[in-house]
A and B are shown apart, each in its own frame.
Chain A
Amino acid sequence: MALDSSKTTDFKYVGTRPDRPDGLDKVTGRAKFGADATAPGMLFAAIKRSPHAHAKILKIDASKALAMDGVKAVVTRADFAEGLTGETWNVLENVMAGETALYDGHAVAAVAATSALIARDAMKAIEVEYELLPHVTDVDKAMAADAPVIRAGAADASVPEGLHPNVVRYYESGHGDVEAGFAEADLVIEDHFTTEATHQGYIEPHACLGTLGADGKGELWCCTQGHWNVQKLCAAMLGIETSQLRVTASEIGGGFGGKTTIFIEPVALALSRKANRPVKLVMTRAEVFRASGPTSSTSMDVKIGMKSDGTITAAQGTFRLQGGAFPGGPCEMTAMCAFAPYNLTNVHQVGYDVMTNRPKQAAYRAPGSPMAAFAVESVIDELCNQLGLDPFEVRLKNASREGTRASFGPKWPRIGLVETLEAARAHPHYTAPLKEGQGRGISCGFWFNHGGETSVSLAMSEDGSAQIMVGTPDIGGSRASMALMAAEVLGIPYENIRCTIADTSSLGYNEISHGSRVTYASGLATIKAAEAAVEELCRRAAAKWDIPEEAVYWEDGYAKPSGPNAGDHAPLHITELTADMGATGGPINGHFEATPEGAGVSFATHIVDAEVDPETGATKVVRYTVVQDAGKAIHPTYVEGQFQGGAAQGIGWALNEEYIYGEDGRLQNAGFLDYRIPVASDLPFIDTVIVEVPNPGHPFGVRGVGETSICPPLAAIANAVSNAVGVRMRQLPMRPSRVLEALESKDG
């Protein structure tokens, strides 16, 4: 009997809002984050970083540092494995520079000492000789013929001939005949858009505590979104076997994609091996900005044709992404997401991944999608304005629906875009009056969501309670969601389940917590593991009753005989089956491991009102509403939290956040003072509407929710500001000086 607990209604636990299991630890200060771990004999480390945007490393002299009291080890690239290839080589090259420092902040050496102060002093005493090389930090300039080459031969086979060597990947897709489509249009608008690099801005700097012995066995504690990935990469870089390194994920103080890769972990391990002591390494905030992974900056061209009735006849987009000094700018995802909300007969999209002398980009919440949406949804808004059409009507008219063909190829399964548009249009926000100086903007957004390799174990205790071990670090309250889903299957209270993030030695492989995959994939695996335990519980009941196991079914925590033919047996509660499990066949556990591929895509529609001070160009977001398809909200409060968090990050990106580089190629705002993320007084309350169009690929209908929420805000806010000032805003962030210039251009 294969139990199937799939359902989309009549939940007992799913959809409720219990307290999170890590709540008490987090309000009392005892939750242990990356920098909160200690070990006996622990050393402290600091990293020496390049002050230059591009420079050949001629000589590293650590003799003065090593002569200082308390200094125990210095490492450089020579202390890491050789012969790595592909992305592992790229990551190592980013973790510790080889022959060339590729950006301001690139690590060139590291030191471990008996105190943090000594380590810092010793780091400053390491002397590095550089030969400066020409640099480029702007995406368009990096593609120009005269741009300095960051690294020859970095391009892959996707790149057409004739492009600058800094173009390292190329993507193209589409269908139909866009030229014919534009010819059919009553109005064609083509515009150029740019966005600046932004940082994930997690409040917890990267931190780790590593121990590695000469025997090749190691322990690593770190804040990460994926500790198996850390294990694999670190082992390769240290030249040890993967299984010999046990990695434990700490509580994570925010990641948003930025902690899906590694920066400092192999350095702590290399220092530990050399000093034969545990080594703690914590980034400063300035290091986080200079040397962890921000998102790409972009240069984009979008052209859309529309009939006077609002039908889109053709759409074309070119998206150039700057991903730092390595391949990886998410050009294909940007291009694929761009027109995803629309059912188009003629569409064509092109993406370029371009290297510059900036830090290696890392994932940031729906990588690439927010920028694409900014360009596309701005052009649609302008078409609506010029043709005098309602922005909701136009979007509904052209919306992707089940069975229509996606802009990047496949046919859509059941999707919820139309439902979010209709819910947004019906929301009182859309018809609320605007005040003088205010403008309203709407935008749709799309994200793929992801499944990925997943392992979960569930174990029953004799008292009928259950423990779940999952391998996806909890970045948004997922332990609560796992416990709710297991409670639903087992039929025991939420409180009787403890969910733990297992270390790499305690569970099979798990992909990173990324792609909004955790509630979907670990959730699916948790349900399947719980079903496996329930099947065993039913077998034990069958044995006690001496009836076939097919004649037993599970309901609300009880094994019950399936009908009169099965015999007149009183239901057995789970506690009656676990109490003597040692004597009836041994421990009762459930496991599941697979790579689920039914992650349901997610769409959202946002409405925002912005108010612009016409004298200074300052913009304030005065009202914000998020409408998004969650498939099924397991813990609605945390779903709302994801919606609100994504919107808030989008507001920062749209208005004030940006990496600012000087002519010297150095980052000028490596701190929270001048990298301006929204503060509490910048934001209004953020309304949320959870739409639930169940995902057929998940037993309870879950769709990932974490990333889609940041896709519409850039465009929605740009549309609101543009409508407030009467001038199309094509560059982000919309800092006050830019808005003021737009106003002047209108008046002049």
Chain B
Amino acid sequence: MQYFKPATFEEASALAAGAEGITRFLAGGTDVLVQLRSDLVTPDVLIDIKAIPGTHDITRTEDGGWRLGVAVTGAEMSEHPDLGRDWPGVVEAMDLIGSTQVQGRATPIGNLCNASPAADSVPAMIAAGAVLSVVGPDGARDIPVEEVPAGPGKTTLKKGEIATALTLPPRGAQGGDAYLRFIPRTEMDIAVVGCAINLTVEGEVITSARMALGAVAPTAVVVHAAADALVGRTLDDAALKALTDLAEASCNPIDDKRGTVKFRTHTAGVLARRVAQIAYDRAKGAKA
């Protein structure tokens, strides 16, 4: 395994484009090192991107959104004074991953590019409408987060392409997001099911809604119909029932050591109700 620590994204991209065998980018390393240790993936080329300037920065964008550098960690997100006020669901989703120790290294972009179906931060980023910026041999492009995972362990990034930053849109007035997952313990588990919802309201009435589910399909599922079910209504019992049915119908899970099809499908509905209530309360002004 060769280790590189380039000083620019262009250099990193060129290294990746020219590399033979398995290439991995190293930010927090909380997936890369586990795979290395478990003999699942031993990269031939490992490109550490943390020395590139700006990769640790959390900055306001001109339109009032947020830009997170590719090496920004979960701990840095949680400690940021303003980010969690705008996007509590995204910050909490990231914070659920692993231990305090893992939070010190793990990054949401790593979580996304590792392409696990159960990645906690991904449904929250999808619901928020986040966009991943990449550069590669053919130049820079922006990809909506939901279009990044292609299947377990696979992304739509091309050879030589490297993620540079994540952009969260402006929160805007009367909006709220939330994420919950189900795990058997209280910490340290991989999500059996995850659910994120991002809402805006006018008074009591929902004006926009985005919902995504994790760990119920090969990639995170965007539940587009959530908007149809919720927009123009209050979050009353009928809306919650519709949302539950929608969540269950959107699942295409597998039976595995962490959960059954039946349990995942049922719990997706439970989480959808609970998450919607939190997001709704936040949109109406409840403090995160």
Residues of A within 8 A of B (CB): 124, 286, 615-618, 620, 655-656, 660, 668-669, 671-674, 676, 678-679, 681-682, 735-737, 740
Contacts and interface: CB of A to CB of B under 8 A. Distances in A.
B19 interface: no
A668 B257 contact: yes
28 contacts: A124-B39, A615-B270, A616-B182, A616-B267, A616-B270, A618-B182, A618-B184, A620-B186, A655-B184, A656-B184, A660-B257, A671-B38, A672-B188, A673-B188, A673-B190, A674-B190, A674-B257, A674-B258, A679-B186, A679-B188, A681-B185, A681-B187, A682-B187, A736-B182, A736-B184, A736-B263, A737-B262, A740-B266
B189 interface: yes
Interface string B255-279: 0011110110011001000000000
A106 to B, nearest CB: 18
Contacts of B190: 673-674
Nearest to A615: B270
Interface of B: 38-39, 182, 184-190, 257-260, 262-263, 266-267, 270
A105 to B, nearest CB: 14
Nearest to A284: B37
Given A616-B270, A740-B263, A673 B257 contact: no
Contact of B186 (A660, A668, A681, A737): A681
Nearest to B188: A679
B183 to A, nearest CB: 9
Contacts of A669: 257
Contacts of B186: 620, 679, 681-682
B182 A679 contact: no
Nearest to A737: B263
Contacts of B263: 617, 736-737, 740
Nearest to B39: A124
Pick the most buried of B184, B186, B257, B260: most chain A CB atoms within 10 A of its CB. Answer: B184
Nearest to B267: A616
B257 A676 contact: no
Contacts of B187: 679, 681-682
Contacts of A672: 188
A656 B192 CA distance: 14
A35 to B, nearest CB: 16
Contacts of B182: 616, 618, 736
Given A616-B182, A656-B184, A737-B260, A676 B267 contact: no
Contacts of A618: 182, 184
A615 B269 CA distance: 10
B270 A676 contact: no
Contacts of B262: 737
Main DSSP-derived SS at the A contact region: loop
A124 B182 CA distance: 37
Main DSSP-derived SS at the B contact region: loop
A682 B185 contact: yes
A81 to B, nearest CB: 32
A672 B34 CA distance: 12
A137 to B, nearest CB: 14
B282 to A, nearest CB: 21
A322 B227 CA distance: 53
Contact of A676 (B39, B189, B259): B189
Contacts of A682: 185-187
A618 B258 CA distance: 14
Contact of A737 (B185, B189, B259, B270): B259
A669 B267 CA distance: 22
Given A617-B263, A674-B258, 16 more contacts: A286-B38, A616-B182, A618-B182, A618-B184, A655-B184, A669-B257, A673-B190, A674-B257, A676-B188, A679-B186, A736-B182, A737-B259, A737-B260, A737-B262, A737-B263, A740-B263
Contacts of A679: 185-188
A124 B42 CA distance: 13
Contacts of B185: 656, 676, 678-679, 681-682
Query: Shortest 10 CB-CB distances between A and B: which pairs?
Result: A737-B263, A681-B186, A615-B270, A668-B257, A660-B257, A681-B187, A656-B184, A682-B186, A679-B187, A679-B188
A237 B228 CA distance: 72
Contacts of A737: 259-260, 262-263
Contacts of A615: 270
B266 A676 contact: no
A656 B258 CA distance: 11
B226 to A, nearest CB: 20
A615 to B, nearest CB: 5
Contacts of A616: 182, 267, 270
A740 B193 CA distance: 15
A129 to B, nearest CB: 20
Contacts of B267: 616
Contacts of A676: 184-185, 188-189
A737 B267 CA distance: 10
A676 B257 CA distance: 12
Nearest to A674: B257
A618 B266 CA distance: 13
Contacts of B184: 618, 655-656, 676, 735-736
Contacts of B189: 673, 676
A615 B190 CA distance: 20
Contacts of B188: 672-673, 676, 679
Pick the most buried of A668, A671, A673: most chain B CB atoms within 10 A of its CB. Answer: A673
Nearest to B189: A676
A214 B270 CA distance: 67
A654 to B, nearest CB: 12
A665 to B, nearest CB: 14
Pick the most buried of A660, A673, A682, A737: most chain B CB atoms within 10 A of its CB. Answer: A737
A681 B185 CA distance: 8
Contacts of A740: 263, 266
Nearest to B98: A673
A737 B190 CA distance: 16
A483 B184 CA distance: 43
Contacts of B260: 737
A678 B184 CA distance: 10
A536 to B, nearest CB: 55
A685 to B, nearest CB: 15
Contacts of A656: 184-185
B121 to A, nearest CB: 18
A623 to B, nearest CB: 16
A111 to B, nearest CB: 15
A717 B181 CA distance: 25
Nearest to A661: B257
Contacts of A668: 257
B11 to A, nearest CB: 28
Nearest to A613: B270
Contacts of A660: 257
Contacts of A286: 38
A124 to B, nearest CB: 8
Contacts of B257: 660, 668-669, 674
Contacts of B266: 740
Contacts of B258: 674
A668 B257 CA distance: 7
Contacts of A655: 184
Nearest to B273: A615
A523 to B, nearest CB: 37
A739 B260 CA distance: 13
Nearest to B263: A737
A737 B259 CA distance: 8
Nearest to A673: B190
A721 B258 CA distance: 21
B162 to A, nearest CB: 28
A681 B184 CA distance: 12
A29 to B, nearest CB: 17
B35 to A, nearest CB: 13
A98 B259 CA distance: 37
A736 B266 CA distance: 12
A737 B189 CA distance: 16
A735 B185 CA distance: 10
